[in-house]
Structure 1
Amino acid sequence: METAQITRLVEKYGDMLLKISYTYLKSRADAEDAVQEIFMRVIEKSPQWTDENHCRNWLIRSAVNVCKNKLKSF
């Protein structure tokens, strides 16, 4: 993915992902780490989404999975 695409995703979905992560983790620092991990996954995997809704759903599902994994590790 290009830097401009990542920047657009962070600007558009960053706050939403932070809220979702905070809901699960109850810590702003842990939620910020989770969001960072989500965007690292986007950079590493470069998923090909069919539309904007698919992208949003992928990011939300990733947020939930990352948070659940963090809760398991505590």
Structure 2
Amino acid sequence: MKLCGDAENIPRRSESIDAVIAISLLEHLHNPRKCLQEINRILRNGGYQSYSYQTSKTLSRTTCNAPTTLATT
């Protein structure tokens, strides 16, 4: 399924998605932390999430099983 919409307010029920792949998304968001919180909210227990994002001239990749704990500042 391809989902288009607001990445900081994903229009899906909690724990309703098996996997999320976000390619070159986070570096373009005003609030990437909110997006990651939303991804964790919609992922089913044991769901899969994968990200790629660019920082300066380096492409970074992160892959993990949900939920990912987000540190608060």
Normalised to the residue count of structure 1, the TM-score between the two structures is 0.25
- Higher share of residues assigned helix: 1
Structure with higher strand content? 2
Higher relative contact order (CA 8 A, sep 6+): 1
TM-score by length of 2: 0.25
